[in-house]
Amino acid sequence: MNIQNAPGQQTIPRGHQNHNPVVALLLSLVPGLGQLYNRRWIKGFAFLIIGLSLIIALTLPVIHGVAGLIDLGDTPEKDDSRSLLVQGILSVIIGVIFLGLYAINLSDAFKDAKKRQQGTRTPSVRQAFRDSWEHGFPYFVVVPNFIMMALIVIFPLLFMISLAFTNYNLYNSPPAHLLDWVGFANFKALFTEAVWSKSLLSVLSWTVVWTLVATTLQITLAFFLAVLINDNRVKFKRVIRTVLILPWAVPSFMTVLVFTAMFNDTFGAINRDIFSHFGLSIPWLSDPLWARIAIIGIQVWLGFPYVFTLITGVLQSISKDWYEAADVDGGSRWKKFRFITMPHVLYATAPLLIMQYSFNFNNFNLIFLFNKGGPPVSGQNSGATDILISWVYSLTFNENNYKMAAAISIIMGIVVAAFAFYQFRKTRSFREEDMY
Amino acid sequence: MKRSLKSALEVSGIYLIVLIMFAVILYPLVWAFSMSLNPGTSLFSLKLIPDNWSLEHYRWLFSDPRSDYTLWYKNTLIVAVSNGLASVCLVTILAYVFSRFRFVGRKNSIYTFLLLQMFPVLMGMVAIYLLLNTVNLLDTFTGLILVYVFGGLPMNVFLVKGYLDTIPRDLDESAKMDGAGYMTIFFRILMPLARPIIAVVALFTFMAPFFDFLTPRIIIRSPEKFTLALGLYNFINDKFANNFTIFAAGTILIAIPIATVFLLLQRFLISGLADGATKG
């Protein structure tokens, strides 16, 4: 819906002292009337028609949806709480957009009336059209895309948050049963019931270790290799770089499965081809510690090429002058690396490196495909290599324990988002937004 | 003399490290390739190049009536091409708006989306399933493509916007003086200059459907609509050891074209990512 100045308004003589903005505001409680009062006929009628049809079409469904969201149905078998939840959330989203449009309508009537009162010249058709294109262009582009993103990104998030406050699990699943709101009970269980708190603690600590170790190793290796290969004396740079980014170029879900086969305890190539020469057979998939080592190794293999590419690009863009100046001052190679290369690279790549950490924190594919989170650990309902996300997956799709999965998801989401937000704010791209 | 000896030692040290990396990188890839040539279904192969190697698995994929491989390939290409095209169109225009216009919510909205996306989507998949179900897009390519395009939008817009920010605004100001409209500036000035990062986005979005098996696993139901990742995964998920050799063959036929495109675009990747990151 477009709230720009409709073409068709010709010049109006100066100031209308007794034109009252408040009246315009009150009139536009019915969309369009305020605009008509402002003598903006086309806009007024457009608002009136669109506004009234939206109100007529949407009010009842939205109220109905919100009501369903509140009580989640009252007859088992007939009312499916999940659908009520979906409809309810969608209703809330539509309702919010709706109220936003309504507010725009009110403020538009008020502003136009004020202009008219002060006798600001109403723009000519040409001018009005230009203005609307000028000011409206970003909105024409952004608004539809944001609505779609809200559906694909925000809606699922809201749905998940809602589930965390219901009692939805295998034994209480719609349509045979109705869901109920249970407040913070799931979160409480997570921290107080032994099975849950023990699993949560072990999964959480492994997730943190995994994220930090795997990502840091992968960045360090990439940085090291990028600097080495950037050395002027190295030839065949193109060939070397091509081979080094191969692990990135090959679809990762396939390489992980290949690795799974290679690490197989009995017939895997790693044990047979390499460790058998030393008389060793390492239980890669069945021992928690070895499984964790293997999985970190695989992630480093998979993940370093991206960072390597990134850092190579930055290295090539560092001006030679810096190094020449350092040579004049007699700086050692380590000093040049420490005070020129490192700050440049980290400065430039910080946001993307942060995303690497958050990527690994949520690296479901690798954990799931490698060993499905196993080997199992007794006394808890999570496996040894389970990170939060893979644990959530098995809770959701294997055990249908939606309520707990949702509660855990929320906790991990808050952790990652808070960490990323803090880091984003520290990086300069965030601060510089308004500099031009 | 001493200095050049030291230098030579250093360079050979570098080459040694590079060689070790080559071995580590190529070993699994070569192993997978040798598996695909291994007749039968066994994972046991004592040599890297099997004695009686054959192309039977490749032949099976294309000619056996039980094999849906070509169908999956076609499906994946449809999804990948649509995702690539739609994403490039939407991402570039959004990035242009975010880079060049001031409007309400400009500063925070994209970061909000980026942060929201850090919440794990797995649970959201249940919601997306229900949502697509209500609008009848479950088990369709359209549904899958929509999820890919809009799910990837925030990150890609962020990348391209960072790149566009590095292009001096004077360029579009002077074009504006000469009477160029927004669309002219966008298509004639910014798009050609932003080619490296557009190549990166095109590549990433094109490849996503090849890599991802989770989203199609939830959205796609009927076997004739499987994508490669989903199809191949089901292949070995049932009886792992039995079908691994065929899986390896199927995998290699995907890996080769993708890796080729990837390596050809290497130059763009390096410059595009670095410049986008510098200003990000």
What is the predicted pLDDT for the residue at A142? 85
Q: Is omega for the bond preceding A343 within 30 degrees of 0, making it cis?
A: no
Mapped onto helix, strand or coil, the DSSP state of residue A172 is strand
Does the beta carbon of A321 lie under 8 angstroms from any beta carbon of chain B?
no
What is the predicted pLDDT for the residue at A218? 94
For residue A79 the two structure tokens come to 């009312």
- Select from A218, A240, A228, A170 the least CA-distant residue to A349: A218
Q: What pTM was estimated for this model as a whole? A: 0.80
Q: How far apart are CA A194 and CA A207, in angstroms?
A: 19
pLDDT band at residue A128, thresholds of 50, 70 and 90?
low
Q: What integer best gives the mean pLDDT of chain B?
A: 83
- Which member of B109, B151, B280 has the closest CB to residue A352? B280
| Set of chain A residues whose Cβ sits within 8 Å of the Cβ of B259 | 246, 249-250
Q: Which of 200-239 (A) contact B at CB < 8 A?
A: 225, 228-229, 231, 233-234
Every domain range in chain B assigned CATH 1.10.3720.10:
68-279
Q: How far, CA to CA in Å, does B197 sit from each of A25, A349, B114, B200, B266?
A: 47, 15, 19, 5, 12
| Set of chain B residues whose Cβ sits within 8 Å of the Cβ of A160 | 119, 123-124, 126-127
Domains and CATH numbers, chain A: 21-163 (no CATH), 186-432 (1.10.3720.10)
Over 90: is that where the pLDDT of B142 sits?
yes
| Set of chain B residues whose Cβ sits within 8 Å of the Cβ of A309 | 266, 269-270, 273
Does the beta carbon of A103 lie under 8 angstroms from any beta carbon of chain B?
no
What is the predicted pLDDT for the residue at A116? 79
Q: How far apart are CA B55 and CA B67, in angstroms?
A: 15
- Select from B249, B108, B278, B96 the least CA-distant residue to B187: B96
Q: How far apart are CA B30 and CA B84, in angstroms?
A: 30
Amino acid, single-letter form, for residue A341 = T
Over 70: is that where the pLDDT of A376 sits?
yes
Over 60: is that where the pLDDT of B70 sits?
yes
- Select from A111, A103, A122, A119 the least CA-distant residue to A22: A111
Over 60: is that where the pLDDT of A91 sits?
yes
Does the beta carbon of A410 lie under 8 angstroms from any beta carbon of chain B?
yes
Q: What integer best gives the mean pLDDT of chain A?
A: 82
Q: Which has the minimum average pLDDT: B51-55, B76-80, B154-158, B261-265?
A: B51-55
pLDDT tens readout for residues A205-251: 999 999 999 999 999 999 999 999 988 888 888 889 888 988 988 88
Reply yes or no on domain B68-279 having CATH 3.40.50.300.
Answer: no
| Set of chain A residues whose Cβ sits within 8 Å of the Cβ of B153 | 145, 149
What is the four-CA torsion angle of B209, B215, B219, B224, rounded to 10 degrees? Answer: 40
